[in-house]
């Protein structure tokens, strides 16, 4: 029996794929098809794949041409597969000529002519692009602008910002709008990175105008309002999604799954630190547009705490140890969270530098994510017996921002909210802001 193997992404399965599979099958008696896993595609720079791994596998299965379907997850796997399954022929389309000659040491390599005039990329590009408008004064706006070019199906068409420094960096192809309202007329979706107190008003206007919203955390500074805004988005059938880029990093996602599966036992403590320096403290005037330490970092610091320990049964204490009374501006704040069976601290600062690590301690071991943990591509699981320790690495492109934009666009296209941040977590983040603002359990020093 002649065994043939071929690999591909098979996104939005098309005629070219089917032709390829037919010819691959005709080379032998048994066809194995390797479908690339989402993570592996990301590593190869394909982040805009529209269908999930399961959908792509199902599409290949439905052709009836594959005798076996496997998932391709890591570099070098082809050699492993060829040996494991006793493969005689490896084949792919002619777009790969020469790339897989190294496999000649293991089996015969055949490049089949590629079908002209069709590809997944072209099908993706033909779909009408979502026009995205960027709003706000925070330099994060530019990061989103730069990262959006890596995502198929989206195009930044307009910007509304009162920060002249930001506008200088925006090229002339993108419309510089004079007001938020005029921006809404020029886009299908908005990314808001304005200061938190402006969010509610802007989100309501955007949703009322039928626009989808990606908003830098917190969505608003009051939990009831966040609840209401989610409801409003549902009524208008638009997507409202909270933006915390870390939530979209593969390593962070794997870390959560690993802990939820009990790897370190019961979680009893989480310590999360996020800080950054600022060139100079903001003036009173600038304060209207500048994020304080709490505003800039607390959502990120709280994310693993709420996602692992939950959003109920928690009491909070805050200590701002470096507080500018005159400007109402916090530079370093520690938040203590007390759960019935666990404790956590979130320490955040702007204009203060600390070791930005994340430590999650459990009854069997702990997870250590080195600084800066919010841009995580690596973490370790450590145990009493050091030989049991394990290290995990995952690719992270563009600090997670491009994955977040891709998730937002996917959500818009499928009208299903596929946010990595659960609604109750968004509401609880707003609750922390609300309590802090009201001074509930708050000590201010400095």
Q: Which residue is nearest to ligand CTP (CB)?
A: 93
Q: Which two tokens stand for residue 254?
A: 């794997």
> 112 vs 290, which CB is nearer to ligand CTP?
112
- Name the minimum Å distance from CB 55 to ligand CTP: 13
Segment holding 208, helix H or strand E? helix 196-208
DSSP secondary structure of 209-223:
TT-EEEEESPS-SSH
Could you tell me which residues come within 8 angstroms of residue 385 by beta carbon, excluding any fewer than 6 positions away?
none
**Residue whose CB is less far from ligand CTP, 97 or 416:** 97
Question: Nearer Cβ to ligand CTP, position 11 or 295?
Answer: 11
Distance CA 299, CA 244 (A): 7
Residue 419 binds to ligand CTP (criterion: CB under 6 A): no
User: Which of these, 270, 418, 400, lies nearest to 335 by C-alpha position?
Assistant: 270
The binder of ligand CTP chosen from 5, 8, 223, 382 (CB under 6 A): 8
- Write down the least CB distance from residue 123 to ligand CTP, Å: 8
Cα–Cα distance for residue pair 281/286, rounded to 1 Å? 9
Residue in the block written with tokens 């979706």: 189
Stretch that binds ligand CTP, among 6-14, 26-34, 185-193, 266-274 (CB under 6 A): 6-14
* Helix, strand, coil content of the chain in percent (nearest 5): 40, 25, 35
Nearer to ligand CTP, 96 or 392 (CB): 96
CA dihedral for 10, 11, 13, 19, sign (positive or negative): negative
Phi-psi region of 250 (alpha: psi -120 to 50; beta: other; left: phi over 0): alpha
Binding status of residue 223 toward ligand CTP by CB under 6 A = no
**Residues in binding contact with ligand CTP, number by CB under 6 A:** 17
- Choose, by CB under 6 A, the member of 82, 92, 142, 264 that binds ligand CTP: 92
Interface stretch with ligand CTP, choices 2-10, 207-215, 310-318, 344-352 (CB under 6 A): 2-10
Verify binding: residue 34, ligand CTP, rule CB under 6 A: no
Q: Of 43-62, which residues contact ligand CTP (CB under 6 A)?
A: 46
CA nearest to 31, candidates 146, 150, 133, 112? 112
Out of 80, 95, 162, 355, the only residue in the binding site for ligand CTP (CB under 6 A) is 95
- 69 burial (CB, 10 Å; 0-12 / 13-18 / 19+) is middle
Which region, judged by CB under 6 A, interacts with ligand CTP, from 9-17, 199-207, 333-341, 432-440?
A: 9-17
Q: Output 93 or 356, the one with its CB closest to ligand CTP.
A: 93
Selected from 118, 209, 258, 281, the binder of ligand CTP by CB under 6 A is 118
Q: Is residue 114 a contact point for ligand CTP (CB under 6 A)?
A: yes
Q: Which of 50, 77, 119, 275 binds ligand CTP (CB under 6 A)?
A: 119
Tell me if 10 contacts ligand CTP by CB under 6 A: yes
The DSSP element (H or E) to which 313 belongs, if any, is none
Which residues in 173-209 are b (16+ Cβ under 10 Å) and which e? ebbebeebeebbeebbbbbbbbbbebbbebbbbbbee
Is residue 17 involved in binding ligand CTP (CB under 6 A)? Answer: yes
Please report how close the Cβ of residue 132 comes to ligand CTP at its closest, in angstroms.
22
- If one asks whether residue 120 binds ligand CTP (CB under 6 A), the answer comes out as yes
* Residues forming the site for ligand CTP (CB under 6 A): 8-11, 16-17, 20, 46, 92-93, 95, 114-115, 118-121
């Amino acid at each position: 029996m002649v065994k043939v193997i071929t690999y591909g992404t098979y996104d939005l399965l098309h005629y070219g794929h089917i032709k390829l599979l037919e010819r691959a099958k005709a080379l032998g008696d048994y066809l194995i098809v390797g479908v690339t896993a989402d993570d592996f595609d990301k590593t190869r720079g394909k982040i805009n794949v529209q269908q999930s791994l399961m959908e792509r596998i199902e599409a290949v299965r439905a052709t009836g041409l594959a005798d076996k379907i496997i998932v391709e997850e890591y570099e070098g796997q082809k050699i492993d597969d060829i040996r494991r399954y006793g493969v005689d022929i490896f084949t792919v389309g002619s777009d790969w000529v020469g790339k897989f000659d190294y496999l000649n040491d293991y089996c015969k390599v055949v490049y089949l002519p590629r079908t002209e005039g069709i590809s997944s990329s072209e099908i993706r590009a033909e779909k009408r692009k979502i026009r995205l408008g960027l709003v706000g004064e925070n330099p994060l706006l530019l990061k989103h602008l730069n990262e959006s070019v890596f995502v198929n199906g989206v195009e930044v068409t307009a910007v509304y910002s009162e920060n002249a420094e930001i506008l200088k960096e925006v090229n002339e192809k993108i419309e510089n709008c004079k007001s938020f309202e005029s921006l809404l007329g020029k886009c299908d979706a908005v990314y808001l990175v304005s200061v938190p107190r402006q969010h509610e008003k802007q989100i309501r206007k955007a949703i009322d105008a039928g626009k989808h919203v990606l908003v830098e955390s917190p969505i608003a500074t009051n939990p009831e309002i966040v609840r209401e805004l989610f409801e409003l988005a549902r009524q208008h059938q638009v997507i409202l999604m909270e933006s915390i880029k870390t939530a979209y990093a593969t390593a962070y996602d794997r870390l959560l799954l690993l802990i939820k599966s009990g790897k370190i036992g019961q979680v009893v403590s989480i310590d999360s630190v996020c800080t950054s320096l600022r060139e100079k403290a903001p003036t009173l005037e600038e304060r209207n547009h500048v994020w304080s330490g709490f505003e800039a970092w607390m959502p990120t610091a709280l994310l693993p705490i709420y996602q692992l320990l939950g959003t109920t049964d928690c009491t909070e204490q805050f200590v701002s140890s470096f507080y500018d009374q005159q400007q109402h501006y916090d530079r370093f704040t520690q938040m203590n969270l007390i759960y019935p069976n666990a404790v956590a601290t979130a320490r955040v600062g702007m204009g203060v530098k600390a070791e930005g690590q994340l430590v999650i301690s459990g009854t069997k071991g702990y997870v250590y994510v080195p600084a800066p943990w919010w841009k995580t591509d690596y973490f370790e699981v450590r145990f009493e017996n050091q030989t049991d320790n394990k290290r995990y690495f995952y690719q992270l492109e563009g600090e997670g921002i491009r994955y977040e934009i891709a998730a937002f666009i996917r959500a818009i296209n499928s009208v299903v909210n596929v946010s990595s941040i659960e609604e109750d977590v968004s509401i609880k983040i707003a609750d922390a802001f609300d309590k802090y603002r009201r001074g509930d359990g708050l000590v201010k020093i400095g």
